[in-house]
A and B are shown apart, each in its own frame.
Chain A
Amino acid sequence: MKTDDLIDMLAKNVEPAERPQWRMRMMLTLLGGLAIAVALVLTFMGMRPDIGTATWPVLLKAGFSAAAAAIILPLAMRLMRPGAPIGWRMAAVLIFVGVSLLATFIALMGMPSEARMHAWMGGGFPWCIVLIPIFAAPAAALMVWLARSFAPTRLTLSGAAIGALSGGLGAMAYAMYCPVDSVAFVTTWYVVGIAICATLGAIVGSKLLRW
């Protein structure tokens, strides 16, 4: 088929394009991913037993995770469209990481030196860096499916953004179980957990997001 004939075929009886409603579909995807993550945490980990007295720390941790997701969202949305400049969106993510580091430092400096290690590590291995990616995985799968109906052209970066965004959702759900409430723990290991999600996303992005 000659190119002119192909053009004829594409143009013939062309329908008005429906408004794609990306924002609505993204919101639904985020809600769906979060709901699955919450269900997984409740099923396999359970709500922390002292939730009655620990409501505020849980809300703060979930809020921190939600803030991370909200700051990654504009970048992830941008990367799904061809040729749209990223601009400040990447800088916002880096600033968030910087502020988290700073908060870790300030929180640790504000306590006696012998208590610092425990506050930072949470008294053991920070399991959230393993569990956050696991709870984020279903949200990531939903988001990949959404992204493929857009037209991402920078697949590695898109994969990283999708990974980080779903990591934020996974961390929100994980906060219901997470027994460690120290600021330095959250601002370090939640961020590391989300960064691991971003790394995994970058690795698989160039395969899964092809169209």
Chain B
Amino acid sequence: MADEAELRALLLKGLAGDEAAHRKFLTEAAALLRPYFRNRLRGAPEDAEDLVQETLVALHTRRDTYDPNLPLTAWMYAIARYRLIDLLRRKKRRGDHTAIDDLEIGDADPAFEAGDAKRDVTRLLAKLPEKQRRAIELVKLQEHSVEEASKLTGYGVSDIKVSIHRGMKALMKLMAEESAA
């Protein structure tokens, strides 16, 4: 598993537009987040995987809030912890003053396959506004570049980029709402 320096280097490369580094960063982050959430949500491995996915989208859409002078893992876990608190608040399992450190650590279900979330992100994508959904489908799910997507849809290149970014942020909101339902 990647250490602080390695993760940081991967994120910084990703910020510079390196797709492979960004993929590796997200993969390593998922591997760290999975036990983090499983330990804190005992007996609910699907909830944990939901939160892993939600947090990955959060890390991706808010990656420009990382200050390179500060430790990367502090940034990552602060976001993870916030997503967890937000879920707990939404579920109203506890009051507003949930101390995460007090939550009991339970057994992770070994039979549960890593990567299976309860919700289906593909279905949530369909709920996005048309322009955002099209932009994400063309550029992020199919094999089109931003320029090709611009030609196919008639929207400008920067319009496509903004739509993808807004769509991803909206997607995280939808994920959060659904996992609390």
Q: Which residues of B contact A (CB under 8 A)?
A: 14-20, 22-23, 26-27, 30, 49, 52-53, 56-58, 60, 62-67, 70-71, 74-79, 81-82, 86, 96, 114-117, 120-122, 136, 139-141, 145-146, 161, 168, 173
A84: chain B residues within 8 A (beta carbon): 67, 70, 74-75
- B67: min CB distance to chain A, Å: 6
Using CB atoms, name the residue of chain B closest to A3. B115
- B92: min CB distance to chain A, Å: 14
**B70 and A9 contacting across the interface, CB-CB below 8 Å:** no
Secondary structure at the A interface, as helix, strand, loop or mixed, is loop
**B15 and A16 contacting across the interface, CB-CB below 8 Å:** yes
The residue that A17 contacts in the complex, of B15, B27, B76, B136, with Cβ under 8 A, is: B15
The residue that A82 contacts in the complex, of B18, B23, B82, B141, with Cβ under 8 A, is: B82
The residue that B16 contacts in the complex, of A7, A16, A150, with Cβ under 8 A, is: A16
- B133: min CB distance to chain A, Å: 13
**A6 and B146 contacting across the interface, CB-CB below 8 Å:** no
Given contacts A2-B116, A83-B78, contact A13 B19 (CB under 8 A): yes
A150: chain B residues within 8 A (beta carbon): 62, 65
- How many residues of A are counted as interface, with CB atoms below 8 angstroms from the partner's CB atoms? 31
**B65 and A206 contacting across the interface, CB-CB below 8 Å:** no
Contact code string A137-155 (vs B, CB < 8 Å = 1, else 0): 0000000000000110100
**A6 and B57 contacting across the interface, CB-CB below 8 Å:** yes
Closest 9 CB pairs of A and B: A83-B78, A16-B17, A83-B74, A82-B78, A11-B23, A153-B82, A1-B121, A83-B75, A151-B62
Given contacts A1-B121, A206-B96, contact A15 B161 (CB under 8 A): yes
**B82 and A11 contacting across the interface, CB-CB below 8 Å:** no
**B115 and A4 contacting across the interface, CB-CB below 8 Å:** yes
**B70 and A12 contacting across the interface, CB-CB below 8 Å:** no
B79: chain A residues within 8 A (beta carbon): 82-83, 151, 153
- A64: min CB distance to chain B, Å: 31
- B150: min CB distance to chain A, Å: 12
**A9 and B140 contacting across the interface, CB-CB below 8 Å:** yes
- A154: min CB distance to chain B, Å: 8
Using CB atoms, name the residue of chain B closest to A7. B26
Q: Say yes or no: is A8 at the interface (Cβ < 8 Å to chain B).
A: yes
